[in-house]
Structures are given as structure tokens and as C-alpha cells.
């Protein structure tokens, strides 16, 4: 199945790519709103996992504000699981 060209979102040409500029060309006030770094800090020994917790448990930790996942981690550590 072939899609129809979208006149409001055309395929980029080689000329368009050649004229494009990187994020450094954005105004400072806009550029400063982007995160500088992402992910875990170097040397972190944390591993991403997926687990199911009761909604009320998650709600209680989230209500304490940013860092709630670290607080769950600490609660598990204190429980010596």
C-alpha cells in the first residue's frame, strides 16, 4: 500500500537537509528549557524493572512529590527484602 504525499508535510529534499541547523541555532531562552542530561548518573547501580504495585501504594508515594520512586526503593531496603 502506497501512501499519498502530504502537501502540509512534504518529504525532505537533500537541499532541505543541507539548509537545516542544529539546536544550537535556537534562542537561549528556548534552548535552556531542554534537559541537558538524561538517564542515570554515571556509576549508578540501579536497574530498570517493571513491577505491579497496588494503586493506593503508588498514590501515597507520588503524593510526596518528586523522588517518589527513590522513596519506594528506600522503603524496600528498610524492609530488608
Answer yes or no: is 9 within a domain.
Answer: no
- Compute the distance between CA of residue 10 and CA of residue 8 in angstroms, rounded to an integer: 6
Overall domain count for the chain: 1
Answer yes or no: is 33 within a domain.
Answer: no
Answer yes or no: is 73 within a domain.
Answer: yes
Which range of residues forms the domain containing residue 78?
A: 51-81
Q: Is the dihedral of CA 29, 31, 35, 58 positive or negative?
A: positive
Answer yes or no: is 71 within a domain.
Answer: yes
* 41 secondary structure, DSSP code: P
Q: What are phi and psi of 5, to 5 degrees?
A: -60, 140
Grid look-up 520512586 returns: 69
pLDDT one digit per residue (tens) for the chain, 81 residues: 667 888 899 899 999 999 999 888 889 888 888 767 667 777 888 888 899 999 999 999 999 999 999 999 999 999 986
What are the angstrom distances between the C-alpha of 2 and each of 8, 9, 10, 11? 18, 16, 15, 14
Amino acid at each position: 500500500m502506497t501512501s499519498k504525499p502530504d502537501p502540509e508535510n512534504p518529504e525532505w529534499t537533500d537541499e532541505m537537509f543541507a539548509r537545516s541547523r542544529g539546536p544550537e541555532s535556537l534562542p537561549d531562552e528556548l534552548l535552556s528549557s531542554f534537559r541537558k542530561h538524561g538517564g542515570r548518573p554515571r556509576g549508578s547501580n540501579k536497574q530498570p524493572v517493571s513491577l505491579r504495585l497496588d494503586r493506593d501504594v503508588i498514590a501515597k508515594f507520588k503524593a510526596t512529590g518528586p523522588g517518589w520512586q527513590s522513596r519506594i526503593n528506600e522503603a524496600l531496603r528498610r524492609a530488608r527484602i
